[in-house]
Amino acid sequence: MKRKSSRLRELPLASLPRGSLSQASSLKPQASQGRIRVLGIDPGLRITGFGVIDKTGNTLDYVTSGCIKTPADGGLALRLKTILDGLGEVIAANRPDQVAIEKVFVNSNPQSTLLLGQARGTAICAAVLHDLDVAEYTALQIKQAVTGQGKAAKEQVQDMVKRLLRLAGDPSADAADALACAICHAHGGQGLGKLATAGYRMKRGRLV
């Protein structure tokens, strides 16, 4: 594999286990049956988050996560190419079995929605070019699956992702959203009944 691109911003090694792309590139899928590697993607034209997890039975294990940042002074075509190339590197390094991506929501700014849709389409193309199946989930489905409520705040999603994957630190917001998407897919888009969250409760906006 080529030298790691500067576009890929990994979470600090001090914060999360197995947090660098260089480490993750050596983690080839195991031959044992029942283990599925899922790549979650949180698409964005400026920042695209990604997160890779392994599912073995009902157990989830963190592999790697990070962000692909596009050049602020680049045109649309260059930004989309950055996303395509960056996700291609992530896929080649980690060899996921399946891909999950968040669906685009329509907001009050049609131009922003259009640009987000183009970033999302590019992310889907990156997966399809590697012959990977792509599942799509709404933000409400992802939040419901991970936290138990569809209107959970980003901080609640980050906290629950940290707990479910037994991380030493909080992932960034974009990486957490991508990991949450992967977790949602790993459990068939189901809610808390499918997740090992028994005993957790909400306190001041955080799961405890």
So which residues are the catalytic ones? 42, 102, 174
Sign, Cα dihedral of 158, 160, 161, 163: positive
Instruction: Give dist(CA 193, CA 145) in Å, integer.
Output: 9
Cβ-contact 201, 207 below 8 angstroms: yes
Sign, Cα dihedral of 143, 144, 146, 151: positive
Contacting residues for 202 by C-beta, under 8 A, at least 6 apart: 156, 208
